[in-house]
Amino acid sequence: MRTKALDNLHGVLHHQDTIYEATVPTAQYVAAILPDPRTLRSVEKTHRSFPGCMRADLLAWLDSVADAVTDAVNEVGQRLGFPLADHPPAVAMREMRPLLFSAAFPYVDDTDRAVREAAIAACIPLVDDVRLLHHRAALVPLVRQALGTSELWQHRERAIDALDAWGESSAGIEGQRNPFLFCDTDLSPDSTSWSSATSDAEGWAEELPF
């Protein structure tokens, strides 16, 4: 049931980064239930899932929602003739950023590493809001020390992008050599063919199939 609910968050209420009318009250609800101890329960995972309990997944969802209404997204939309200001749910989500930040920030030093990293990642797009800009200084060391040393290449890349965008040094953070490997294979890390797939992808042993 918990896993199905999370699937609905991503597949129905925030499909392909879309902000629907129903996404707004759902984000409020998700923010409100984060402290509930039941969010510490486990959920089913696949080899593509990020690790952690339900709370980590809920924070990751808030991160995704917030990332869909950043200033950078708005700038691109304006250039293409689709500013976020013309989409009421996006406007409402942008207005809600301080509330979402207040829900996520208490977990940036959580003892659970997955929750801690998810919370820091969620705070990154939220501090675009002019009302939250002053929190960037506190986030910089957290981004560098937690996300920058994460076992997840996605979080390390997120740290690099955030620090660079904020005019901070990202030196010493190791990015992902081949992020397409994660997208282009269904193999799990413990698969017997994983090492050969990695070798082919990084060494260009075979021609691309397109």
Give the span between the Cα atoms of 99 and 30, in whole angstroms.
11
Q: Determine the pLDDT at residue 6.
A: 77
Coil/strand/helix, residue 81: coil
Q: Which has more confidence, 179 or 8?
A: 8
Lowest average pLDDT, out of 9-23, 39-53, 193-207, goes to: 193-207
Q: Determine the pLDDT at residue 110.
A: 97
Q: Determine the pLDDT at residue 5.
A: 75
Query: Which ranges of the chain does DSSP label H, i.e. alpha helix?
Result: 2-11, 23-33, 54-67, 71-80, 88-95, 97-104, 113-126, 136-145, 153-165, 180-184, 194-203
| Residue pair 137/81 in contact by the 8 Å Cβ criterion | no
Q: Determine the pLDDT at residue 206.
A: 42
| Whether pLDDT at 185 is above 50 | no
Q: Which has more confidence, 30 or 199?
A: 30
Q: Determine the pLDDT at residue 27.
A: 96
Q: Tens digit of pLDDT for each residue in 99-125?
A: 999 999 999 999 999 999 999 999 999
| Residue pair 5/55 in contact by the 8 Å Cβ criterion | no
